[in-house]
Amino acid sequence: MQTQSFEIPLSHTGEEVKKRIEICVAEQIPVLLTGGTGLGKTYFLSRLARQHNQHLTKINQVGSSADMVLGMLVATNFTTRWQDGLLTDKVRHGGWLSVEEIARLDQEIQGRMFSLLDTDDPVLSLVEMGENLTPHPDFRFFATTNEGSEYFVRGIDKALRDRFFVQEWGLDFWNLDVLDDQVGVGKSNGNKLRQMLSQGVVTLRKVVIAIHLIQKGLEPRQAWTICGINAAMEA
């Protein structure tokens, strides 16, 4: 049984993109990754966070309210107190945060983002508390969307979009040649697996999970079945 977790390496193109994103991290520039589902956008950000000894907190905008993201007043012992939401907590205490599907961001939250992502004097305005919160030095903001850049332009205010370094993520950012042996498909099915990834039939997330299961000693075909790869491979 293998104890060291396998990571899919970046291609040369992916490494060049990573260098640009590393500059953004160092300079506290917000980063937005666009592109189709299953290409490994969040996987990349999570791994980058680990390389910086950080944990990536993720907010999925589908079903997330302003209270969950920003915070709310709660009643306790005949009084009220402010309870930070996920975003506010990271702004206050530091850490890495990624908003998934930011193109569907609630308009109220969008309004708070303008000042938070300002490069000159960033603050998160908590009007409920009359507080302008200056971000912790270790706060880093990322976002992803499964839609292309054209949808993103329509889905969010241009002034907010311009606060990001925007990078369209591609499957070619990964060196997928290493998957043949790791997933146990061999050379014969390796090309088919990569083709299914490019067509969105199988997601990179599923492949990574299958690799981790195989590393723990599970028979490859069992791992494929659990991750929904087996049926696709035999189709």
Tell me how long the chain is: 235
Quick one: CA dihedral 103, 106, 107, 113, positive or negative?
negative
Range of the domain at 192: 175-234
Q: Would residue 140 count as lying in a domain?
A: yes
Q: pLDDT by residue (tens digit) across 217-235?
A: 888 888 888 988 775 566 5
Instruction: Examine the domain organization and report whether 42 and 78 are in the same domain.
Output: yes
Q: Say yes or no: 43 and 122 in one domain.
A: yes
pLDDT (tens digit per residue) in 102-146? 877 777 788 888 899 988 899 999 988 888 999 999 999 999 988
Among residues 171, 204, 221, which one ends one of the domains? 171
pLDDT of residue 234: 62
Tell me if 7 is assigned to some domain. no
Pair 34, 60 in one domain: yes
Q: Is residue 5 situated within a structural domain?
A: no
| Residue 55's pLDDT band (cuts 50, 70, 90) | very high
Q: What percent helix, strand, coil does the chain show, rounded to 5?
A: 45, 20, 35
Q: Is 1 within the bounds of a domain?
A: no
- How many domains would you assign to the chain? 2
Residue 93 predicted with pLDDT over 80:
yes
Q: What is the crossing angle of helices 204-215 and 186-199, to 10°?
A: 140
Nearest to 117 by CA among 100, 97, 131, 101: 97
Q: Could you tell me if 134 and 183 lie in one domain?
A: no
Q: Are residues 70 and 186 in the same domain?
A: no
Q: Which residues fall within 8 angstroms of residue 62, CB to CB, at 6 or more apart?
A: 101, 104
Q: Residues 42, 115: one domain?
A: yes
